Amino acid sequence: MYTSATLSLAALELLVHVLPGDVPSGLVAIAADIPDTLYKIVIEPGVVPGRDWRRYPALLGLCRLGTSWASDMESAVLAVPSTVIPTERNYLINPAHPGFREIKVAEPEPFTLRLPR
């Protein structure tokens, strides 16, 4: 599961990949409470592999890092810097990890982006 630390960052992560007229309708926001006590692997911007780690599409090394993290089952959460705003965080959550049970996931709520015309 690919998530963001804030709803505004999640919206930005969506908007950088679609044209304003292509924003899907029927969006929902789903809050998740990740306990501070849950072990997380944190990757800092200065330690992200590859010089051009913010490029799109993602470098193969970054894809491998995520795949390796998910299959190694070291943690339920991998905290990574956002390529859009590197000082903010996105969280990859592994539902197959036993620690996933500690994350409280709320019910989906309708979410609408109001974009200028």
- State how far the Cα of 58 lies from the Cα of 29, in Å rounded to an integer: 25
Domain boundaries, the chain: 2-16+29-109
Q: DSSP letters of 53-78?
A: TT-SSPPHHHHHHHHHHHHHTS-SEE
Structure tokens given for 50: 């590859």
Place of tokens 């630390």: 5
CA 115 to each of CA 22, 45, 99: distance values in angstroms, whole numbers, following the listed order: 11, 30, 38
Residue 37 is given by DSSP the state T
Is pLDDT above 70 for 108? yes
Q: What is the pLDDT of residues 45-87, one digit of tens each?
A: 776 666 666 666 666 667 788 889 999 999 999 999 998 898 9
pLDDT band (50, 70, 90) for residue 5 = very high
